[in-house]
Every structure is written in C-alpha cells, then in structure tokens.
C-alpha cells in the first residue's frame, strides 16, 4: 500500500527562525499562476524541472570522476584556463582534501560548492504537479506524459540524494505558506520508506511514459519508460547491496524519536526483488530497440580487426544516441573532451584548448584484463612480476602500439578495452582527423615522455600519471596545432551493458552457485569486448581456474567486469561504495610513471603522486552541513560526522 507522507515546502532545508522560514517560499511564487496560464509557459516550467539534473559530464562537479580515484590531475592544471571547471575543481578537491561537515563539497542538500540544489528541484517538481491541471490548451495525453516525466525527475532527485546521503526526508508535496513553522522541522525517513516512495513514483511514471522517443530531432534526452525501469533497477540493486543491506556500521543512526534509519538485519530477498526489476528493465529496453553497440564499418576502408574492436567500445559511449544508450545526457561534452584529449605525434605546435587532465591511475590501468580475459595477476602466461619493465612493440601489435616503440610491458597483451579506453606512451589513436589505416605513417599515436608531443610541454599541460582517458573523446574530435574541434556526443547515464552486468550480479547473489544464466549476461558484454566466456577463460588461463564456479569467486569477477566495462563513466565510484570496498580501494596511494623523465630509463619508474586521506566508515555517505542540523534538531547527522 502506498503511504501518505507528511507534506512540506523546502528551499534550503530547513531553517526555522521566522525570518529564515520566509526563505522557503519559492522565489517565483508570484508568477506561478502565470507559469500555468497556457501550454507554452507550462512547457517552460517542465524544462525548469529538468534543469536541476546534476551535470554528469562535469569533471568539476560529478563526484564519481575523481572520487573513486580512477583518475587524477596535477595541481598545476588548476591554473590552466581550458580545464573544465577551472579552479573550481570540487570533485578533485573532495578526493584530495576530504570532506568536512562545516562546508561539504558537492553539497546537493543546499546547492553549495559544486552541488545542485536538489531540494529546490523537488520543490519545483511539486509546483508543476500541483498546477499542471490549469492550462486548457494541453491535450490529456500530453499532460499525462508531462506529469509522468516530472514524477520521474522527482524520483531521480530523491534517488540522487539517497545515494549520496543515505536516508533522506521524503518531499511529496509543498506546504502552504501559512503552515506553522514547527512543521518545517522535518525528519529523515528510513531506508525502507525512501525506497518504497521512489519505487512508487517510478512505477507511476513508467505506466504513462512513452517507450521510445518519436520526435528524435527535438526530444532526445526526454524521459521514457525504459529509463524509469532502469532507474528502478539501479535503486533496488543499491538497497540490496552491502552498503544498505545488513550493514551493522549504521545501527547507531537513530533520530530523536528512537527510529533506526537503516535496516538492522540482512534481507536476502532484496536481491530477488532487484533481479526481477533488472530483468523487467532489460526486457523493456530490448523490446524497444536497445541493443549492445557494434561499430558499423560500412564506408570505412581497410580497418584492422583490432581497430574495429576498439571502436565497438569507444562507440558504445561516444556514438551519439547509439542503440545501447538507455538514458543519455544532453549536457555538453565539449569541456569534458577538451580536458581529457591529448596532443598526438604529428602536430607541430602545442594545441590550444587541450588540457590533458583526468589521468587514469595505475590501480585503474591494472584492473583491465590480459588479452586472455582474466586479471593480469592471475594469467598464467602474463609476466606480472616484470610488468614495469619495457620492451619494443612488433608489427603484429602495430594497430595497438606504435610499431618499434619502447613502452612498458604493462601495456602489452591486454584486452581490447584497454586500448580503446587509454592513451599511454606509444598508444595508437584511431581518428583525430585520420579515418583510414591505408597509410600507417599517418596514423596518430601518443608519446608521453617529458618534452614529447603528448607529454610535458609546459608546466601544466601533461598527464600526472602517464595515461589519459581515450574512451571519453570522440574519434571525430580533432586536436589541431592551435585548436580543438569537438564532436558532441550523448554521455551515457545508463546503458544496456550496465544492466546486463547488474543482472548477472543480482542473479549470482540469488542463486546458491552461479549457473548458465549468470554466465550468459556477463558473457554478452565480454563477447563485445572480444573476450571468451568466463568459465572458458578462467579454465584455460587463470591460476584460479574454478573461480567462476563459486558464488564468492563469481562475485569478484562481476565486480571487476563492471569496473572495466564502465570505467571513467561515473559508475565505478558508486559501485565501490555500495559494495563496501571503498575503504580498501580509496586508501591506496595514487601512482604513475615518472612523467618528468625524458628517457626510457627515467620515465618508466613507478612513483607515488599522492597518498589519499584514510577512507573511514563515515565517508561512505556525505555529511549534512552542520548549519542544517543547528536549525533543525530533528535531523540526525550521518555516522561519524
């Protein structure tokens, strides 16, 4: 049964002095009637509700880019004018300096220090839902669709806050201005209540939303039924995961009514509920044309098989509105690509606008499999002990690594996603103005040593680690001698491979031992990455050949598969948190090559760039700013803050 929740109005959530209480009245209250006088104005308010979506493409305000230490940057780069976000690198500062409860980074509770004010977004969604009945020139079908979209947005804003802060207040409706001030001092709802509320909103939205976007010219990025079901699947997976399910660390989070905000016991059935939701989302998506992306080579002359395989991976992210994308962002990727792109050999000048930041750390680089599809430390034929030594590339590897180039053994004999995702010293780069492989001498490659075109050219234009993120730069974007030509793409918020791997994960948790259904969904993703199935690969190449046959072993395989497949897409950070692996992963030193070295012997020396603050239990959730607690005694702070 759907619960009725206490209604309230939020702007800054929540001040209770008489003067501050007036601040919770919407700034646009005097114009609300005008906003809903006709379809035109109502549609503008609809887009206002969309406008609170956090910027998924922003290096500076998306906590997942730097928060999980997948990438790092040089402090010098903060002064470079073409770094996206400039000196306001809130996500990087959060990862480098740590959070504080007095002034948190990426504060979406209040909209401070890089955070979007999601409570105001929810408030505006409520205003829309309360008034959309007023315009008389909207037909019923369109009105219902708009209502469903805004219900989804309200659900997503609750979800985003929930993922960031844990249990949150539920804002179902806005309070009248005449409401007594004491009623504004609200409580956080429990995990179960928040989950049920968001699920109900998403179910209501999914029942009305269109299954596909018909008007692709004007409406791409608008919410559809597959998006709503996919978000429901991700929510239910989140609450089934160790962070929320049976986590004894948060038993002390109790409000002044004596209510425990987190569940007190592990509930295995939550994985069954999650699995059913993921399967429903997959079925809906596939029935409406969503499928894994494969590069269409028609019209492209003489591309090597390895290049086609790399384009399968790059295109799944950067091919605009490709069929794998369930939910794509309409936010510009220009700043993201300018910040990540690297200069390549063949240029004659330092390219303008290219900052070369957001550099993969060695821990990220080493997560990718060997060419045999197993972890490099497990591969019986891969020289793990000597991975930091060097050797020359051969003609057989020339479309992956520049022929005859001396580079680290770490860069050899890796899976195709490694070469599709990373720039490194000697890496070949298909695209960047060269769309053929007929003339090998014209193909671009990166040379990352100090003084080389892709390396340290000035004090602030070079990789901190010796690696770069190729995956998020479209092959048609071009680094020129004095310019950067950007090819926009729809950044994937949720894509099909994400759901396939979520489903494999949920099924593995439900079943006593993994079976063919578990293997099927992970193997679909591996096949696109030119890898064999998990059972075959581990049996033939791993030092732990039976690993996929156990629940624990398969769990580790699925986790690593997600970290590889979704690397640099803003997913790994949240995964490591929900798996409760952040204490292990986020406390490791940030390492890379000696990028100030000019010669092979100097450059290929492993060095520690930065040692993060110790990641404690409290860091799994962001703190509510202390000021909010001082004005509302009914709010309880997250554990440890």
CA distances from 474 to 332, 409, 490, 495, 606 (A): 13, 27, 11, 17, 30
pLDDT tens across 368-401, in order?
Answer: 999 999 999 999 999 999 999 999 999 999 999 9
311: nearest Cα among 332, 297, 326, 328: 297
Q: At what angle do helices 225-240 and 496-510 cross, to 10 degrees?
A: 40
- For the cut 90, the answer to whether the pLDDT of residue 72 exceeds it is yes
Instruction: Output the six-digit token pair for 24.
Output: 């919770």
Query: CA 135: distance to chain centroid?
Result: 38
Cα–Cα dist 150/293, whole Å: 30
- For the cut 50, the answer to whether the pLDDT of residue 105 exceeds it is yes
Give 208-246 as a DSSP string.
TS-SS-S-HHHHTTS--HHHHHHHHHHHHHHHHSTTTSS
Cα–Cα dist 446/593, whole Å: 15
pLDDT tens across 455-512, in order?
Answer: 987 667 789 999 999 999 999 999 988 889 999 999 999 999 999 999 999 999 999 9
For 118, the 3-state DSSP assignment is helix
Residue 394 lies in domain: 69-93+305-495+510-613
Instruction: Output the six-digit token pair for 407.
Output: 């580079």
- Average pLDDT of 2-27? 35
pLDDT for the residue 299: 59
More confident position, 454 or 87: 454
Instruction: Output the six-digit token pair for 277.
Output: 């939701």
Cα–Cα dist 245/532, whole Å: 33
Report the share of the chain in percent with pLDDT over 70. 92
CA distances from 463 to 55, 276, 448, 451, 590 (A): 24, 43, 8, 12, 13
Cα–Cα dist 383/413, whole Å: 10
pLDDT band for position 81 (cuts 50, 70, 90):
low
- For the cut 50, the answer to whether the pLDDT of residue 549 exceeds it is yes
- φ and ψ of 592, to 5 deg: -165, 180
Distance spanning both ends of the chain, measured CA to CA: 35
Query: Is 150 a member of any domain?
Result: no
Instruction: Output the six-digit token pair for 253.
Output: 């989070």
Give the number of other Cβ atoms within 10 Å of residue 410's Cβ.
25
Instruction: Output the six-digit token pair for 482.
Output: 């004095």
For 41, the 3-state DSSP assignment is helix
Polymer length in residues for the chain: 641
Cα torsion through 305, 308, 313, 314, rounded to 10: 140
Q: Note whether 369 and 387 are within 8 A (CB).
A: no
- Average pLDDT of 296-309? 82
Q: Note whether 448 and 62 are within 8 A (CB).
A: no
Within 13 Å of residue 472, how many CA atoms lie on the same side as its CB?
A: 30
CB environment 417-429: b (16+ within 10 A), e (fewer)? bbbbbbbbbbbbb
Peptide bond into 14 cis (omega under 30): yes
pLDDT for the residue 7: 41
pLDDT for the residue 557: 98
Sign of CA dihedral 376, 377, 383, 387: positive
- Average pLDDT of 157-177? 93
Alpha helix stretches (DSSP H) within 26-97: 32-35, 39-50, 63-67, 90-97
pLDDT for the residue 263: 96
Query: Is 76 a member of any domain?
Result: yes
Query: Is 131 a member of any domain?
Result: no
Instruction: Output the six-digit token pair for 147.
Output: 């209502």
- Average pLDDT of 404-421? 98
Question: Longest Cα pair distance anywhere in the chain, in angstroms?
Answer: 77
Residue in the block written with tokens 């099927």: 520
- φ and ψ of 31, to 5 deg: -110, 5
Cα–Cα dist 621/626, whole Å: 15
- φ and ψ of 575, to 5 deg: -65, -45
Query: Is 452 a member of any domain?
Result: yes
pTM (predicted TM-score)? 0.94
Cα–Cα dist 250/641, whole Å: 12
Cα–Cα dist 187/5, whole Å: 11
- Average pLDDT of 128-156? 97
Domain count, the chain: 1
Q: Name residues whose C-beta falls within 8 Å of residue 463's C-beta, 6 or more positions apart in sequence.
A: 342, 356, 359, 423, 448, 454, 455, 592, 595
- Average pLDDT of 205-210? 98
Cα–Cα dist 223/493, whole Å: 12
Cα–Cα dist 117/505, whole Å: 33
Q: Name residues whose C-beta falls within 8 Å of residue 282's C-beta, 6 or more positions apart in sequence.
A: 496, 499, 500, 503
For 409, the 3-state DSSP assignment is helix
**Running DSSP on this structure, what letter comes out for residue 440?**
G
Within 13 Å of residue 11, how many CA atoms lie on the same side as its CB?
A: 13
pLDDT for the residue 460: 72
Give the highest mean pLDDT range of 184-188, 204-208, 294-298.
204-208
Sign of CA dihedral 421, 496, 321, 568: negative
pLDDT for the residue 614: 87
Q: With 0-12 CB in 10 A as exposed, 13-18 as middle and 19+ as buried, what is 204?
A: middle
Query: Is 106 a member of any domain?
Result: no
Query: Is 361 a member of any domain?
Result: yes
Q: Which helix (H) or strand (E) holds 181?
A: none
- For the cut 60, the answer to whether the pLDDT of residue 8 exceeds it is no
Q: Note whether 164 and 108 are within 8 A (CB).
A: yes
Q: Note whether 461 and 356 are within 8 A (CB).
A: yes
- Specify which residues 479 forms β-bridges with: 484
Query: Is 400 a member of any domain?
Result: yes
- Average pLDDT of 170-177? 84
pLDDT tens across 582-606, in order?
Answer: 999 998 999 999 999 999 999 999 9
Q: Average pLDDT of the chain?
A: 91
Q: Name residues whose C-beta falls within 8 Å of residue 559's C-beta, 6 or more positions apart in sequence.
A: 505, 575, 579, 581
Query: Is 7 a member of any domain?
Result: no
Q: With 0-12 CB in 10 A as exposed, 13-18 as middle and 19+ as buried, what is 349?
A: exposed
pLDDT for the residue 297: 73
- Average pLDDT of 23-46? 75
- For the cut 90, the answer to whether the pLDDT of residue 516 exceeds it is yes
pLDDT for the residue 13: 35
């Amino acid at each position: 049964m759907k619960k009725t929740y206490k209604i309230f109005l939020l702007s800054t959530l929540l001040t209770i002095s008489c003067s501050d209480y007036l601040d919770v009245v919407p700034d646009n209250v005097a114009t609300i009637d005008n906003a809903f006088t006709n379809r035109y104005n109502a549609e503008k308010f609809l887009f206002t509700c969309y406008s609170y979506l956090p910027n998924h493409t922003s290096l500076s305000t998306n906590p997942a880019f730097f928060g999980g230490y997948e990438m790092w940057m040089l402090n010098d780069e903060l002064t470079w004018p073409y770094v996206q976000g400039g000196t306001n690198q809130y996500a990087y500062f959060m990862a480098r300096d740590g959070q504080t409860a007095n002034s948190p980074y990426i504060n979406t509770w209040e909209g401070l220090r890089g955070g979007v004010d999601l409570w105001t977004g929810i408030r505006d969604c409520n205003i829309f839902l309360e008034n959309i009945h007023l315009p008389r020139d909207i037909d019923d079908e369109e009105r219902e669709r708009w209502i469903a979209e805004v219900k989804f947005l309200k659900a997503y804003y609750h979800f985003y806050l929930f993922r960031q802060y844990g249990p949150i207040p539920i804002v179902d409706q806005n309070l009248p201005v005449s409401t007594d001030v004491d009623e504004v001092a609200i409580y956080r709802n429990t995990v179960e209540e928040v989950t049920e509320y968001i699920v109900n909103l998403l179910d209501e939205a999914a029942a009305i939303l269109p299954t596909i976007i018909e008007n692709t010219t004007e409406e791409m990025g608008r919410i559809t039924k597959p998006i709503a079901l996919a978000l429901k699947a991700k929510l239910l997976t989140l609450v089934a995961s160790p962070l929320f399910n049976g986590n004894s660390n948060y038993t002390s989070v109790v409000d002044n009514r004596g209510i425990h905000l987190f569940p007190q016991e592990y509930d295995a059935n939550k994985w069954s509920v999650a699995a059913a939701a993921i399967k429903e989302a997959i079925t809906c998506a596939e029935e409406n044309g969503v499928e894994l992306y494969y590069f269409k080579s028609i019209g492209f002359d003489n591309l090597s098989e390895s290049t086609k395989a790399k384009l399968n991976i790059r295109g799944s992210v950067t091919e605009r509105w490709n069929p794998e994308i369930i939910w794509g962002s309409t936010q510009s990727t220009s700043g993201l690509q300018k910040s990540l792109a690297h200069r390549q050999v063949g240029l004659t000048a330092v390219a303008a606008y290219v900052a070369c930041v957001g550099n993969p750390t060695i821990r990220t680089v080493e997560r990718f499999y060997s060419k045999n599809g197993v972890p490099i430390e497990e591969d019986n034929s891969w020289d793990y002990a000597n991975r930091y030594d060097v050797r020359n590339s051969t003609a057989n590897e020339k479309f992956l690594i520049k022929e005859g180039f001396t580079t680290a053994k770490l860069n050899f004999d890796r899976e195709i996603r490694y070469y599709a995702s990373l720039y490194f010293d000697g890496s070949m780069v298909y695209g960047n103005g060269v769309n053929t492989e007929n003339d090998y001498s014209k193909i671009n490659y990166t040379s990352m040593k100090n003084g080389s075109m892709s390396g340290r050219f000035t004090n602030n234009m070079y990789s901190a680690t010796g690696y770069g993120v190729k995956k998020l730069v479209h092959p048609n974007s071009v680094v020129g001698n004095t310019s950067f030509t950007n090819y926009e793409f729809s950044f994937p918020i949720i894509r099909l491979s994400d759901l396939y791997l979520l489903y494999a994960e949920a099924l593995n948790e439900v079943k006593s031992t993994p079976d063919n259904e578990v293997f099927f969904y992970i193997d679909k993703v591996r096949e696109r990455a030119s890898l064999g199935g998990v059972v075959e690969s581990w049996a033939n190449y791993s030092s732990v050949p039976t690993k996929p046959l156990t629940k624990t072993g398969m769990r580790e395989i699925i986790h690593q598969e997600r970290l590889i497949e979704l690397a640099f897409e803003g997913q790994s950070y949240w995964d490591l948190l929900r798996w409760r692996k952040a204490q292990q992963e986020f406390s490791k030193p940030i390492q890379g090559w000696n990028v100030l070295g000019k010669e092979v012997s100097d450059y290929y020396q492993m060095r520690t760039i930065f040692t993060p603050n110790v990641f404690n239990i409290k860091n799994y959730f962001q703190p509510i700013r202390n000021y909010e607690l001082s004005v509302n005694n009914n709010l309880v702070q997250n554990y440890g803050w």
